[in-house]
Amino acid sequence: MTDRFSGQTVLVTGGAQGLGRAMVSRFAAEGASVHVADRNAVALAAMSAELCTELPGKIVPKVLDVSDSDQVTDWIDQSVATEGKIDVLINNAGIIRDNRVEKISDDDWDAVIAVNLNAAFYGVRAALPHMREMGYGRILSFSSMSWRGNFGQANYVAAKAGIVGLTRTVALEGAKFGITANAIAPGLIETPMLASMNGSARDKLVKKVPLAHTGAPEDIAAAAAFLASPEARYITGVVLDVDGGLGIGSSIR
């Protein structure tokens, strides 16, 4: 591992498990002070206890609900007060509540939009003034390969497509301040979210992946670390598919 993020402050939402945890591990391995927000207090404490003993960076956990605007703003302001700055914001927390459109309740619509989309907006809005002041920032938000449309996921797809629009707009507004904004659209990655999917539906999908296997959380963490690094300075407003080629669509041969 390099020390690319030594001296940097990286904020990750939903970092207690899954992709978030892999990113916390990667950034801390590369020397960052990683502030991690998650609503799952038990998983958050376990993650931070396990990772902080073995990695050179620092991990600062905070229990909060990212769908609450005030909690997100306070977390970002407090992290900046502690570290003096924020270099990287990763809007990763997400949930699914799948159903066909006519069966999606108001609650299931609102909850999915709140965690997957509203939370990213709250984070970006709170982080931007601090990043602008420094003349530097990297914002990464989690979309999904399904942002293009997916059966049974209207709420999730609407949120993940919203992430693309938010990212492209923040890329424009942040550009002259040295701030880049990009999105990652993962495919089938081995996390608790994927494990919650029905087994046969999952197997059918894996067969469609050109690289013929699911991804590991570390594959996402590697892409995130690159996009969040100073080296990625000329990349902004993109949606990076990390999906083994699944997003290409079906081949006629």
Residues 6+ apart with CB under 8 A from 71: 64, 65
How many whole angstroms separate alpha carbon 199 and alpha carbon 239? 28
Q: Tell me whether residue 8 or residue 13 sits nearer to ligand NAI (CB atom).
A: 13
Q: Judge contact between 28 and 56, C-beta under 8 A.
A: yes
From the CB of 143, what's the least distance to ligand NAI, in Å?
A: 7
From the CB of 135, what's the least distance to ligand NAI, in Å?
A: 29
Q: Tell me whether residue 134 or residue 150 sits nearer to ligand NAI (CB atom).
A: 150
Buried b (16+ CB within 10 A) or exposed e, 172-184: eebeeeebbbbbb
* DSSP structural state of residue 245: T
Q: Which residues bind ligand NAI (CB under 6 A)?
A: 14, 16-20, 37-40, 43, 65-67, 92-95, 115-116, 142, 144, 186, 188-189, 191-194
> What amino acid is encoded at 11 in this protein?
L
* Known catalytic residue at 234: no
Closest to 89 in 3D by CA, of 170, 159, 17: 170
Q: How many CB atoms lie within 10 A of CB 78?
A: 13
Q: Which residues are 58's β-sheet partners? A: 33
Q: Tell me whether residue 61 or residue 174 sits nearer to ligand NAI (CB atom).
A: 61
Place of tokens 């809007």: 91
From the CB of 234, what's the least distance to ligand NAI, in Å?
A: 25
From the CB of 174, what's the least distance to ligand NAI, in Å?
A: 21
From the CB of 111, what's the least distance to ligand NAI, in Å?
A: 8
Alpha-carbon distances, residue 87 vs 52, 56, 75 (angstroms): 20, 18, 15
Of 122, 136, 156, 234, which one is the catalytic site residue? Answer: 156
Q: Tell me whether residue 110 or residue 132 sits nearer to ligand NAI (CB atom).
A: 110
Alpha helix ranges (H) inside 33-140: 41-52, 69-83, 106-113, 119-134
Residues 6+ apart with CB under 8 A from 158: 113, 117
Q: Tell me whether residue 13 or residue 236 sits nearer to ligand NAI (CB atom).
A: 13
The residues annotated as belonging to the active site are 156
